[in-house]
Structure 1
Amino acid sequence: EMFANFNDVYWKYGRIAIQKFRENPSEKSLQYGHDITFEEFLRYVVYHFENSNEIEPYWTSIMDVCHPCNIDYDIIGHMETFDVDSKYALCTSGIANMMELFSGFETDIKKKNIRRMTLEAYERKHALESVFTHEEFLTRHIWNICMHEYMITPINIENISINATALESSALLEQHSSFDFSNKRISQTQSKGPYKEIPNDLLQKLTKLYVSDYEMFGYKRKDEN
């Protein structure tokens, strides 16, 4: 989320990572941390584990957060198979009819979330003029919406005027919403794609840090591929 969000709470990690791991960073990147790359973020995660005793909830091991050895879970699901796992959980719990309730509210839910995210983004637009151009702002905002799967295919940002209000922009974006609860699933290609550009030594370090999670969820470790 930190790669598309306008929340500078996330950007503080970008400032640290860029300062430590980017060669010849721009003053703008050092000041805001808004353009942190995926590799820089992963390097910061490794650095944090190796050099800090502070617990960071955003990337703490699931094993340490959920304590599966102490809690007898009935179901352990995966984001890659969210739709199948959620249906199984509802059926196992005897409330399979909840899926029908969700499908009835899909349209309202997706549009309300797009509107909320757009209003929140536009509240910060003026303050971010020194960081993003109008086109960069819209591109990042639409990317954020797509990342949450409220919109599958990004629209042409040229359709949104630079003078458009938050509500006008939201109304246009809502027309292109396509969130479907029953099909909310991340493919293996999508989930593995960003890692293809990550250096092998960094992947090895991450594997060691999260080895318990790999084993718990049945993922292949880097040294097993």
Structure 2
Amino acid sequence: MRLVIARCSVDYAGRLSAHLPLATRLLLVKGDGSVLVHSDSLSYKPLNWMSPPCTVAVIEPDADQAKAGVSEVWRVAQAKTADLLMISIHEILHDSSHELGFDPGLSKDGTEAHLQKLLAEQIELLGDGFTFVRREYMTAIGPVDILAKDVSGRSIAVEIKRRGDIDGVEQLTRYLELMNRDPHLAPVAGVFAAQEIKPQARTLAEDRGIRCVLLDYDAMRGMDDSHSRLF
């Protein structure tokens, strides 16, 4: 990866036209062929970029550009489209290249699949006397995350989310309507389980007779003992 900090202006031509006036910016030329233009704001988002595959050619400025103080021009062309990024360099303040090597990619923790597995193993978190039946119980409109039974033997459909919102409640409602038509399962109650449940989702769930349960992921995986905490 090449990192260049430069005073530059940028012009983009493609599906639309865009112009960045002269300022100090970070230019990233990545090993995959992409080029990104960053400022010291807007968090992680580049101001402009060219996705791979693309070619980068350094050309001499024309007379008018040279008179305006441009020392070189980067012509970044997209190989599959007519998109063009022209970066007019006035001054390079830093220029370095770094070999980053192979990246194994992002390993996500705390996904809904992780929560589902842990809750299946700790089904008692839903209440005393609950028993686990199966994960991914298939219905005609999709799989219910967990099918369980309560202490009275009633079927319980559990929908699991990291962040529970109204869409999740609606999803569980559709499952319950379908499952309650099956005489082998009915009556089926619902549990909406999530690490965080939005107030609107909780109100809707409770109005429909669906119980809400908050999941503590760290405690479920043995990383946090709530009994030993001061707060």
Q: Normalising TM by the smaller chain, what interval?
A: under 0.3
What is the TM-score with the length of structure 2 in the denominator? 0.21
* Larger fraction in helix: 1
What is the TM-score with the length of structure 1 in the denominator? 0.21
Larger Rg computed on CA atoms:
2
Higher relative contact order (CA 8 A, sep 6+): 1
